[in-house]
Amino acid sequence: MDPRGRPKKYKIVRNDPHIWRFSPRGKAGRPEEIDLKIEEFEAFRLSDNDGLKQAQAAELMRISQQTFSRLLKKARTTLADALVNGKIIKIQGGCYVLSTRQNNNHNNHEKHEAPRTQDRIPE
């Protein structure tokens, strides 16, 4: 039996975030940092910013609705902790594939970059 467990499934992410870090103002000293994974950010963006239903968003990310729901819950918990407790939010890490969809008149083409597993953001 493999001690590492089940391999992680790559999630489809349409765009890398434009902003990688949010920092609170008005808190004395150096605030704690909290990580928000790229796929959690994508789930939050699709659901809460773009207004998609979970089934639609899960289909776009090519994951089950249950997995999408877990990602969204984790994202909301992380963001709530950061906002309530004045923590820096760093959007980084995760296990995802960056994909861009090109639409034309006759058919849809989807191009995938190499899978990404990211521990640190590029500085």
Specify the pairing of strand 21-22 against strand 88-91. Answer: antiparallel
Beta carbons within 8 Å of 17's beta carbon, 6+ residues apart: 38, 41, 91
In 3D space, the residue among 21, 22, 79, 4 whose CA is nearest the CA of residue 45 turns out to be 79
In 3D space, the residue among 14, 101, 89, 8 whose CA is nearest the CA of residue 57 turns out to be 14
The dihedral region occupied by 75, where left means phi > 0, alpha psi between -120 and 50, and beta the remainder, is alpha
In 3D space, the residue among 34, 52, 33, 32 whose CA is nearest the CA of residue 42 turns out to be 52
The C-alpha atoms of residue 27 and residue 4 are separated, in whole angstroms, by 40
pLDDT at 5: 80
Q: How confident is the model over 53-110, as pLDDT tens digits?
A: 999 999 999 999 999 999 999 999 999 999 999 999 999 999 999 986 644 333 344 4
Q: How confident is the model over 4-53, as pLDDT tens digits?
A: 787 778 899 988 888 999 999 887 788 899 999 999 999 999 999 999 99
